[in-house]
């Protein structure tokens, strides 16, 4: 019976460790996806800024200096 209890305890620890590793991997995947989304968003902002600059012939610094 003692051996069975030890085996059960080892199995429980193995399952817990497996769950912990899986959760860590899932967190890392979500974190990487968020970083990728942020990068895409920032590139979109930069592209919009550049398009606006080309359209108006002015950059944001000109606008800020003009209206302060």
Output the tens digit of pLDDT for each of the chain's 68 residues.
Answer: 667 777 777 887 898 899 999 999 999 999 999 999 999 999 999 999 999 989 988 765 655 555 55
- Separation between Cα atoms, residue 58 and residue 61, nearest integer Å: 8
Contact yes or no for 39/28 (Cβ under 8 A)? no
* Structure confidence at residue 59 (pLDDT): 65
Alpha-carbon gap, residue 1 to 11, rounded angstroms: 15
**Tokens read off for 2:** 């003692």
Predicted structure pTM score: 0.59
For residue 57, give the DSSP letter: S
Specify the pLDDT at position 11. 80
Q: What is the residue range of 6's domain?
A: 2-66
Q: How many domains does the chain have?
A: 1
């Amino acid at each position: 019976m003692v051996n069975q209890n030890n085996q059960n305890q080892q199995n429980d620890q193995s399952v817990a460790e497996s769950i912990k590793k899986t959760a860590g991997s899932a967190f890392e995947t979500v974190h990487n996806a968020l970083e990728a989304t942020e990068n895409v968003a920032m590139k979109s902002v930069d592209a919009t800024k550049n398009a606006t600059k080309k359209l108006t012939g002015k950059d944001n610094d000109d606008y800020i200096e003009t209206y302060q």
